[in-house]
C-alpha cells in the first residue's frame, strides 16, 4: 500500500514535458519521491480495459504510455493478468486514478504496484486532449518527473535529447538471453479448443523478442511444446532442429523498437528462407515478428506518425471477406508494394489507414499478422490464427505449401 496520503497524490507536483515544448502538470502516483526522471517516446492506448496487460507488455519498453480511458486503477492488479515478469513502460499518464479498487482477483492497488516496480505515474491530465495533440502532430519524446529542482525549460531540453524509437534494437533487451521451455496454458481463459491430437505433441521454436505471455499460452493450449529461444539463435541451429524433427515450426514474437535495427534476426531469417531444405517449414509472425519476416523477404518498413495501440482496431480480412476487431501495439508498418514484390500476398488491411495488417507467402507455409490475436480482441475474432499455425504443422507432411484456406475453415466457428 502506498504511504502517500490522498492530499499528497492530489498535489500537482509531477510534470510531463514534451520535446515539442508543452508542459503538463498533475498529481504523481506510483514511485513518488525517488528523484526519477523517466524518458521515452510518448504514445497512447485507446483500450477501455486491460491497463495491467498494457503496463507489462514488453512492446512498450522505452515508451511513456497514455491511457485514453479516463478512469484507471479501478480493478487493481493481480498476478494472472501480466504479460511479462515486470512493468515495461517508462511512465504512465492517466486522467483519474481510482482510490478504491474493487475486483475479486485483485491483490494490490495500481499505485503500490507501480511503486514496487519503480515506475512513476501522473494523474489529472486531459489524456484525450493530449492524445489529439499526438494524433495531429505525431508522437514525440517526453520526460516525466516529480522533481521540483528542474525548470520547465530544462525538462523540455531533456525531452529533446531523448532518442527516437527509430534505429533502436530494443528486442535484444526485452527478449530472454537463454533458451527455456514453456508449459503454461490459458487455464480458465480458454479462447480456443484444447488439442485433440493423439501421439507426440508438435514442438514449436518461439523466438523471444519480448514475447507476451499469452502467445506461448495459446500455443501450449493447442497442444504444442514451446521452446523459447533468444534472438541470437542462428539459422544452422534451427535447421538442424527441424531436420532432426525436434521442432516442427517457427514462431516469431512481438517486441519493442525498430524492426530494421534487429538485423541479426533478419539475416537469420534470410538464411532460413533461402535454404531449399526448409521450404516446408511453417513460419508465423506477430507484430515485430511480422515486420522482421517481411524484411527478410525483401520488403521495407516505415515508422507510423502515431502508431496503432488499442483493443478496437478494425481489420479487413481480404480473402475471407470479413472484418475483425483486433488488438494492436506497434509504431512501425510494412510497405505494401514491397511485400507484394517479395512474394507476399496481403491478407489483412487496417481499415483506419489502409496499412498492411497481415500477409501470407504465395508459395510457402508462411503467415504473419501485424496485430495481436492472443489479446482477446473481439473477444475471439483473431484467435484462429493459432489454429492456422497448428494446421500448417499438421499439413506439412501432405504439402510443402500448406493449406492457404485453413484460416477460413479452422478456429473461426
* DSSP element (H, E) containing 220: helix 214-221
398 SS3 class: coil
190 SS3 class: coil
Instruction: Choose, from 41, 287, 313, 348, the residue flagged as catalytic.
Output: 287
DSSP string, 359-388: EEESSSSEEEESS-GGG--TTTTTTHHHHH
294 is catalytic: no
Residue 291 in contact with residue 300, Cβ under 8 Å?
A: no
Instruction: Choose, from 41, 83, 260, 374, the residue flagged as catalytic.
Output: 374
For 329-360, give one letter per residue: b (16+ CB within 10 A) or e: bbbbbbbbebbeebbbbbbbbbeeeebbbbbb
Peptide bond connecting 304 to the previous residue in cis, omega within 30 degrees of 0: no
Residue 280 in contact with residue 393, Cβ under 8 Å?
A: no
* 99/11 Cα distance (integer angstroms): 15
The angle formed by the CA atoms of residues 142, 146 and 151, to the nearest 5 degrees, is: 70
3 is catalytic: no
* DSSP element (H, E) containing 227: strand 225-229
- Residue linked to cell 523471444: 208
287 is catalytic: yes
Nearest to 361 by CA among 256, 292, 267, 282: 282
The set of catalytic residues is 287, 372, 374
Amino acid at each position: 500500500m502506498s504511504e502517500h496520503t490522498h492530499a499528497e497524490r492530489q498535489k500537482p507536483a509531477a510534470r510531463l514535458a514534451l520535446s515539442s515544448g508543452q508542459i503538463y502538470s498533475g498529481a504523481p502516483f506510483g514511485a513518488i519521491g525517488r528523484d526519477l526522471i523517466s524518458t521515452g517516446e510518448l504514445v497512447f492506448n485507446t483500450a477501455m480495459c486491460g491497463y495491467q496487460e498494457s503496463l507489462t507488455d514488453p512492446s512498450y519498453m522505452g515508451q511513456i504510455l497514455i491511457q485514453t480511458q479516463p478512469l484507471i486503477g479501478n480493478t487493481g492488479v493481480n498476478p494472472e493478468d501480466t504479460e511479462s515478469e515486470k512493468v515495461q513502460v517508462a511512465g504512465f499518464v492517466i486522467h483519474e486514478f481510482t482510490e478504491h479498487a474493487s475486483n475479486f482477483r485483485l491483490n494490490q492497488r495500481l499505485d503500490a504496484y507501480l511503486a514496487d516496480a519503480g515506475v512513476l505515474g501522473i494523474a489529472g491530465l486531459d489524456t484525450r486532449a493530449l492524445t489529439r495533440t499526438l494524433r495531429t502532430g505525431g508522437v514525440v519524446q517526453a520526460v516525466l518527473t516529480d522533481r521540483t529542482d528542474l525548470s520547465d525549460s530544462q525538462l523540455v531540453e531533456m525531452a529533446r535529447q531523448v532518442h527516437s524509437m527509430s534505429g533502436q534494437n530494443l528486442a535484444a533487451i526485452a527478449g530472454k538471453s537463454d533458451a527455456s521451455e514453456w508449459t503454461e496454458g490459458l487455464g480458465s481463459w480458454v479462447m480456443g479448443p484444447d488439442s485433440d491430437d493423439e501421439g507426440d505433441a508438435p514442438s514449436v521454436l518461439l523466438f523471444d523478442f519480448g514475447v507476451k505471455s499469452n502467445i506461448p499460452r495459446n500455443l501450449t493450449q493447442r497442444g504444442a511444446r514451446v521452446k523459447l529461444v533468444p534472438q541470437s539463435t542462428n539459422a544452422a541451429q534451427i535447421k538442424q532442429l527441424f531436420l532432426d524433427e525436434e521442432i516442427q515450426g517457427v514462431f516469431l514474437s512481438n517486441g519493442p523498437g525498430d524492426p530494421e535495427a534487429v538485423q541479426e534476426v533478419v539475416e537469420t531469417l534470410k538464411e532460413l528462407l533461402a535454404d531449399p531444405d526448409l521450404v516446408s517449414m511453417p513460419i508465423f509472425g506477430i507484430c515485430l515478428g511480422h515486420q522482421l519476416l517481411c524484411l527478410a523477404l525483401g520488403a521495407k518498413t516505415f515508422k507510423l506518425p502515431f502508431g496503432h495501440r488499442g483493443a478496437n482496431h478494425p481489420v479487413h480480412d481480404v480473402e475471407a471477406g470479413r472484418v475483425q476487431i483486433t488488438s494492436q501495439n506497434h509504431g512501425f508498418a510494412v510497405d505494401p508494394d514491397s511485400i507484394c514484390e517479395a512474394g507476399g500476398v496481403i491478407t489483412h488491411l487496417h481499415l483506419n489507414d489502409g496499412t498492411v495488417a497481415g500477409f501470407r507467402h504465395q508459395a510457402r507455409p508462411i503467415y504473419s499478422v501485424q496485430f495481436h490475436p492472443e489479446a482477446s480482441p473481439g473477444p475471439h475474432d483473431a484467435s484462429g490464427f493459432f489454429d492456422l499455425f497448428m494446421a500448417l504443422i499438421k499439413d506439412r507432411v501432405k504439402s510443402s505449401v500448406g493449406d492457404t484456406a485453413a484460416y477460413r475453415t479452422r478456429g473461426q466457428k
